[in-house]
Every structure is written in C-alpha cells, then in structure tokens.
Amino acid sequence: MPERDFPQPMRPHGAAGVVFGFVMERLSATNYRWVVAQLKPGKPRTYLEIGFGTGALAKLVARTLKPERIAGVDPSPLMLRTAQKKLRRYARKTKIELRDGDDTALAAMTGPFDAVVATHSFQFWSDPVTTLLRIRALLSPHGLLVLVLRPHISGPVMKVIPNPITRTGDEIGGVRRALADAGFRIVADETLKTGSQGIAAVRADH
C-alpha cells in the first residue's frame, strides 16, 4: 500500500504527518511522564520502544534515565528521521538503534532489554500474541513492559487496523487477557489523565 494511503495515525507522512506528529507529541506529554515514572525504579540500562513516533518519549528516557542503549522500530520513514534528529545529541553516551519497521521487526532484534514500551501503537500490531511472546523473549528477567492504550479510535482508522484484539471493541480487556496468555503479570493498570489506559507488566516467572 502506498504511504499516502495509510491514515496519519498509523503511518505519519508528508506535511500533514509533520503536523500530526507535533500535535500528538504535545497531547501525549502526560502519558510519557507516566511511562518514565514506571521505568524509573528499575533504572533500565537498555530500552526498546515500539512505535517511537517523533522520539519525544525516547528523548525523555535518554535525558532522565540515561540508559546505555535505546532501540526502537517505527513504520514511518518520516518519524524515523524526526526521532533520529531528536536523539542525535544523546548518541555520545547512549547507543541509539532506531529502524524503520513495525512490530514484526522485533524478530530481528537482539536483547535483552530492561524496558519495552509501546504508547498508542498496540492497535497497529498485526499479530499481537506473537509480538507479546517476542517481547517476553527479549525482556531481561526482571524487565518491564509498559503499554499505553488509546481510549478512542476514529472510524477511518478502525477500518484499516490490523490488530484483531482492537477490532473486537474491547482492546483493554483483550490486552489483559493476551498478557496473561503470553506469560506476563500485570503490576500497574490505571486510567491516565489523558484518558488513555496505562498498563505495566513483568514476566510471570519473576
């Protein structure tokens, strides 16, 4: 599918994508601070983000937590360029590994990661159970998975969403069940000030 045929929330592109990324970065600032608060106690040395967008959250992680390695995947070439530019100043002390790709690109990732984060990207995962199993395999024994789920999804976006859990209309409940099935234990589950749902989970065997 040509890039122009993707909805902006799924794959920002062109001039409109620049504006979309800027707006979402501002609207998500509260969510990003919540994510960092979940990660801070564990002091992650390695961080992986699925759907990093403009790189605003990764930048906050780099500045606040100072990990040794930041990796991520995002299917938008525009967002990849934007995030690489935003994180360039941290590359001297942190290894930056950002690449173009969706959640299936995790198959080529090398762990372990102390933290794996996905904010407002879960609905675009084509095979969420497989992805959760891959995340579990990439997580360090005491690593943390943090998800931020969007409270409302527009009709045009819903028409092209590949995630079967999201398409059921009960994304949050479906995520909770999928996490359990994939061997995770939820340690935080709350509605954030933005209306998004924040969920943090660890491997059930630790």
Q: 3-state SS of 31-71?
A: HHHHHHHHHHHHCCCEEEEECCCCCHHHHHHHHHHCCCEEE
Better-scored residue on pLDDT, 24 or 130: 130
Q: How far is the C-alpha of 75 from the C-alpha of 52, rounded, in Å?
A: 9
The pLDDT mean for the chain works out to: 89
Structure confidence at residue 50 (pLDDT): 97
Kindly state the average pLDDT of the residues 6-22: 59
Q: What percent of the chain has pLDDT over 70?
A: 87
- In degrees rounded to 5, what are phi and psi of residue 189? -155, 100
Kindly state the average pLDDT of the residues 112-125: 95
Q: How far is the C-alpha of 170 from the C-alpha of 24, rounded, in Å?
A: 23
Domain parsing of the chain, residue ranges: 29-203
Q: What residue spans of the chain are helical by DSSP H? A: 14-27, 29-39, 56-65, 77-87, 128-138, 155-158, 164-167, 171-181
* DSSP state, residue 5: G
* DSSP state, residue 26: H
Kindly state the average pLDDT of the residues 163-189: 95
* DSSP state, residue 11: S
Kindly state the average pLDDT of the residues 112-129: 95
Domain with residues 29-203, CATH architecture:
3-Layer(aba) Sandwich (3.40)
Q: At what angle do helices 128-138 and 171-181 cross, to 10 degrees?
A: 50
AA identity, residue 66: K
Confidence of residue 12 (pLDDT cuts 50, 70, 90): low
Inform me whether the pLDDT recorded for 89 exceeds 60.
yes
Q: What percent of the chain has pLDDT over 90?
A: 74
Better-scored residue on pLDDT, 151 or 108: 108
Confidence of residue 158 (pLDDT cuts 50, 70, 90): confident
